[in-house]
Amino acid sequence: MDRSDNMRRIRSKNTGPELIVRRLLYSLGYRYRLHRADLPGKPDLVFGRRRKVIFVHGCFWHQHSRCKITHVPQSNGEYWAPKLARNKARDVRTKAKLRKLGWDYLIIWECETKDPEKLKGRLVSFL
Ligand SMILES: [Zn+2]
């Protein structure tokens, strides 16, 4: 598998952490739409009536600050650093756009999906 194949796989929409969040919310009785393309950032989960969206962010791709999973790879640093910086900048713009349109958002980080009870608490209090 070369790097581009590997990247496509990692970036595919139905990633582990996202599935954890979806299954949990579904089991709690919440219903949502996925990846609505008409909203900024194509949010992972959309709660239309509540005007709320949830993003499940990979700690690496979205450069979760102060996180163990996040680091710019030593090899190919000049390839990764600008790419990851762009992702982060895009996230900032997306959040501003959503706010402007009157949507509330929650970011769930990949590392936060490891503790189901804590995750549940965050999701329920947001929704
Ligand atoms: Zn993290």
Interval 19-70: pLDDT, tens = 999 999 999 999 999 999 999 999 999 999 999 999 999 999 999 988 988 7
Give the model's confidence band at 17: pLDDT under 50 very low, under 70 low, under 90 confident, else very high: very high
The CA 112 to ligand 1 mean position distance, Å, reads: 7
- Pairwise CA distance, residues 65 & 57, whole Å: 12
Give the residue, 56 or 74, on which the prediction is more confident.
56
Query: The tokens of 64 are what?
Result: 């979760």
Ligand 1 mean position, distance from CA 34 (Å): 22
Ligand 1 center from residue 74 Cα (angstroms): 19
- 58 CA distance to ligand 1 middle (Å): 7
Query: How remote is the CA of residue 11 from the centroid of ligand 1, in Å?
Result: 16
Residue 13 confidence (pLDDT) above 60: no
Average pLDDT, integer, range 80-85: 90
Token duo for residue 90: 């895009």
Query: 65 C-alpha vs ligand 1 centroid, how far in Å?
Result: 7
Determine the pLDDT at residue 62.
93
